[in-house]
Amino acid sequence: MKNLTYKPHIGKNYGTSELGKLLIIGDSHYFNNGLPHNLSEFTVEKIKELRIISANFYDKVDAVLNQGGKHDIWDKIAFANAIQTPFSSSDQKPTRNDLDTAKLAFREYLDMTKPEKVIVFSSRIWEHCFNKAGWGKHLDKIDNRWNIRELNYDGGTCKAIGLHHPSTPGFDKLKFQNIVAQFLNN
């Protein structure tokens, strides 16, 4: 975990469900009640709590991806946030260094999880990683807007798409359900 503060969540059915090996990349963790004692395990522990707590980002991702009952999706996917700095509020802006480290962390998460497909629910992470030459290649678009890229990692390749963060004003669950369905089925 060279560039990682947070270990990824890897669901117990990752790679064996109808979703195959799907990695979800979010933006950041924020802590408004102080930092936990073990940041490394925070993502894993957060996902475990989803059956008993409500959390806006996770609930909306669940609603976009859900194939079964509420929160079943987390057993079928891997999940990690790209930004490795603990934020103190949801409106905190990452520094250039935070974003550069997030790109390195993203690559490390790919090497760890070896996904077939990746959905990035953060426009700023997607733009920072892919709005320049150098990593992966452009494959296609969905609705003439959402770019699909092929990314390489240690031992393989995957397809990736970047979407808006679910907390973005105007996030349309039905629209993104359709986009995600098209991405996953191609």
- What secondary structure letter does DSSP report for 103? H
CA distances from 153 to 19, 108, 117 (A): 19, 8, 12
CA distance 46 to 20: 22
Return the residue matching tokens 């993104």. 176
- Total domains, the chain: 1
- On whether residue 2 sits in a domain, the answer given is no
- On whether residue 155 sits in a domain, the answer given is yes
For residue 70, what pLDDT is reported? 65
Angle formed by the axes of helices 173-184 and 56-65, nearest 10°: 50
- On whether residue 96 sits in a domain, the answer given is yes
Among the listed residues 58, 110, 105, the one whose alpha carbon sits nearest the alpha carbon of residue 85 = 105
- On whether residue 32 sits in a domain, the answer given is yes
pLDDT-derived band at 69, boundaries 50, 70, 90:
low
- On whether residue 147 sits in a domain, the answer given is yes
Q: For the domain that residue 154 is a member of, what is the CATH number?
A: 3.40.470
- On whether residue 3 sits in a domain, the answer given is no
Q: Which contiguous run of DSSP H or E holds residue 90?
A: none
Q: What angle do CA 53, 54, 59 make, to 5 degrees?
A: 135
Count the Cβ atoms, other than its own, within 10 Å of residue 49. 11
For residue 53, what pLDDT is reported? 77
**Would you say residue 146 has pLDDT above 80?**
yes
- Domain ranges, residue 172: 9-185
- On whether residue 4 sits in a domain, the answer given is no
For residue 71, what pLDDT is reported? 63
Entry pTM: 0.94
Tell how strand 146-153 and strand 137-142 pair up: antiparallel
3-state class (DSSP) for residue 72? helix
**pLDDT tens by residue, 80-118:** 999 999 998 888 899 999 999 999 999 999 999 999 999
